[in-house]
Structure 1
Amino acid sequence: MSVIGLGCAAMLGRAGRRESLAALAAAYDAGITFYDTARSYGYGACESLLGEFFAGERRSRVVLCTKFGILPGNPSGWKNRVKPLARALLNVAPQLRGMVRKHAADQFLPSQFSIATLRSSFETSLRELKTDYVDILLMHSPPVSVLQQEDMLEELRRLTESGKVRMAGVSADGEVIRAVFEKHSSVLKAAQFPMNPFSMGLASLTPDAAKSLLLIANHPFGGAEGITRCRNQIDLLRRDPAVPQSLREKLDARGENLLPEFVLNSIIQDTGVSVVIPSMLQPAHLKSNIGAVERCRFSAAELQLIRKSLIESPLVNAAGLPQSPAF
């Protein structure tokens, strides 16, 4: 399983079919083996795209992670036809992204955690992915109360024992993930959560949690706002006389890989996180992210200092930056 996975939330939403297939091909050819999707991604069409791409012998070479609990609205009709218009609008007016995301979020049905919905959603996922099993099945943004829903946990146990699911778990934000860490469930063996320079609060808990859970970090750059804030944080560290000179010199270096090295290695080195899943639709982003992990300029001690500075920084939003469905 590759340390970097491909987050597919934007496929057939913000990104069109051609761009999405090109991103899948580039990631696969580069050795990426972890692909993260959900029943709701691409307005319900993303799983089908992955099923098409990974049909045949490719399937056994990758880890497919999907989710249930958020259902897409009706992808047909006018909503489907206006997606290309929305993409074009964002290309010329990116400041409207928040408005488009809000409209997109209105097209989904969250908190769908009945047993009947789980069964129906999962069978649809298998059919769309063109497979008879998924490697990881996650609850998608459940409330904490679902973790106590014994019939739900028993159904997930049944699916894992049948071999249709290799590993079950939860994809959620901090409060729910903390509860997953504390629960030590015999059923829930994976946890996916936002972890970026502005949501490092879980970093103190992840090493212990990793002893019993597969940890997956999503939204590592925190979107466009997060990238800007991260660059500001790098500037603060570069000018801080309390930071060792050797580290300030590394932060003063220019180059396209400084930011991904700073972000991705802060997340995966010595934290217990097994996989980080940025959305890498552009070949340049894929290349720089892989290079950042393969050739990191920072030592383990320097990354520990960076994480400490991020947790203590006034720039940091401890609650993290929420992940929204991509149009």
Structure 2
Amino acid sequence: MMPTIDFADTGRRTTRLGFGCSSIMGSMGRRESLQTLQWAFDAGVRHFDVAPAYGYGEAEGCLGEFLSQHREEVTVTTKFGIAPAKNPGLIGIARNLARPLIKAIPALKAKAQRAASVVAAVPAKRDLSIQKAQASLESSLRNLRVDRIDLFLLHDATAGEVRDSPLLGFLENAKQKGSIGAFGVGTDRGHASAILAESPAYARVVQREWSVFDGVEDIDTFKIHHRSLAGNRRRLERYLASEDIAKRWSAATGTDLRAPGVLGELMMRAALGTNPVGIVLFSSKDNAHIRSNALLAEPSAANAKAMELYRLVQAEADQIPTEFTV
């Protein structure tokens, strides 16, 4: 059984690793999406992270179908503030027609992802009124087929948006009524820090990206980290292309950092090691990768190697080129 933690102030426990559902119903159809969710569950994952905008507006509904079989066994995060794409049905048809072409011509995948990011982009001015938040919460409850959402996050929040906002009272009331278990913000590093400084009541839970290039924040809030690999692994791989650096770092960590899979494993273990009472999210469409990631939450001698890798990155971060990140 994967190690569990107290999940913020929800009164529930969940696993230290959570599964990010951003690709559900996006790059996969419904059958593949449900199978992927089941793979994560079978591997021991008991926390799932979704949003109304994921999967062109269809990810919550797909996760809801999955949850109908497992609700009491798992915890769920969803978000509000970014509306799902308009006409998701038409987008779904176009996606299904395009998928075989993208598989046949991999170079089209990046273009499709860029187009999708434009569709899901956060508008410059958005309606974060209590009425919109209430409508989003009710929609998510229906789509997820639940009567309570464990964690409700303001999606891509900025300090300016929550400053003097009436949303705090709405969120506290929803928690008191039992519609949500906890609330917080899911945003980038800079905005998260600003909200913590200016409006900490909104940041009782903070979900943001974290990698070995980031420091460990001493903040009194429940932390959920994601994107621990992404372009950061490629950045380190380029740095370790130097024979001298690779030998020195491999000797320090007691492992061959250029061996397949080793660097990614230690980066994920470092993410877990620096957030021992929080959650680290990952995502994959491959069953073998899901199972191998799930094992990273287990105690292991490799955890010390991961923390040594983290120390090395922090010590030499200024020397590691950044132009290779994406």
TM-score interval for Structure 1 and Structure 2 normalised by the shorter chain: 0.7 to 0.9
Q: Distance in 2 between matches of 1:135 and 1:288?
A: 26
8 Å CA contact retained: 1:190, 1:214: yes
Count of paired positions:
308
- State the match for 2:320 in structure 1: 314
8 Å CA contact retained: 1:260, 1:289: no
Change (3 A) 1:260 1:241: closer
Displacement, 1:286?
Answer: 0.6
- State the match for 1:80 in structure 2: 92
Aligned with 2:78: secondary structure? strand
- State the match for 1:324 in structure 2: none
Counting only pairs closer than 5 Å after superposition, residues 26-65 of structure 1 correspond to structure 2 as: 26-56=39-69, 58-65=70-77
- State the match for 2:130 in structure 1: 115
Change (3 A) 1:237 1:147: farther
Change (3 A) 1:91 1:23: same
Displacement, 1:292?
Answer: 3.3
* Structure 2 spans left out of the alignment, 5+ residues: 1-13
Change (3 A) 1:78 1:250: same
Displacement, 1:9?
Answer: 0.5
Letter in 2 for 1:305: R
Q: TM-score, normalised by structure 1?
A: 0.84
Query: What are the superposed Cα offsets for residues 118-161 of structure 1, whole Å, 9 maximum, x if unpaired?
Result: 11111000001011110000011122212213301221111112
Counting only pairs closer than 5 Å after superposition, residues 29-178 of structure 1 correspond to structure 2 as: 29-56=42-69, 58-108=70-120, 110=122, 111-178=126-193
Q: Distance in 2 between matches of 1:228 and 1:105?
A: 21
Letter in 1 for 2:84: P
Q: Identity percentage over the alignment?
A: 25
8 Å CA contact retained: 1:196, 1:267: yes
Query: What are the superposed Cα offsets for residues 29-62 of structure 1, whole Å, 9 maximum, x if unpaired?
Result: 1210110000111111111111111115x21211
Letter in 1 for 2:16: V
* Structure 1 spans left out of the alignment, 5+ residues: 322-327
Of 295-304 and 37-46, the range deviating more from structure 2 = 295-304
Displacement, 1:91?
Answer: 2.1
Aligned with 1:250: secondary structure? coil
Aligned with 2:255: secondary structure? helix
8 Å CA contact retained: 2:17, 2:294: yes
Letter in 2 for 1:144: A
Q: Distance in 1 between matches of 2:162 and 2:200?
A: 9
Displacement, 1:169?
Answer: 0.7
Q: TM-score, normalised by structure 2?
A: 0.84
- State the match for 1:221 in structure 2: 229
Of 106-115 and 37-46, the range deviating more from structure 2 = 106-115
Query: What are the superposed Cα offsets for residues 203-230 of structure 1, whole Å, 9 maximum, x if unpaired?
Result: 232xx12xx21111122221xx444333
- State the match for 1:325 in structure 2: none
Aligned with 2:166: secondary structure? helix
Match of 2:266 among 254, 262, 265: 262
Change (3 A) 1:91 1:244: closer
Q: Distance in 2 between matches of 1:21 and 1:162?
A: 31
Q: Distance in 2 between matches of 1:153 and 1:33?
A: 28
Aligned with 2:204: secondary structure? strand
Q: Distance in 2 between matches of 1:126 and 1:312?
A: 45
- State the match for 2:5 in structure 1: none
Aligned with 2:259: secondary structure? coil
8 Å CA contact retained: 1:234, 1:251: no
Q: Distance in 1 between matches of 2:187 and 2:48?
A: 17
Displacement, 1:175?
Answer: 1.1
Match of 2:302 among 297, 300, 316: 297
Change (3 A) 1:226 1:15: farther
8 Å CA contact retained: 2:236, 2:320: no
8 Å CA contact retained: 1:65, 1:134: yes
8 Å CA contact retained: 2:270, 2:310: yes
Displacement, 1:73?
Answer: 2.1
Change (3 A) 1:88 1:302: same
Aligned with 2:147: secondary structure? coil
Q: Distance in 2 between matches of 1:219 and 1:292?
A: 16
Match of 1:288 among 284, 292, 301: 292
Displacement, 1:97?
Answer: 3.1
8 Å CA contact retained: 2:20, 2:48: yes
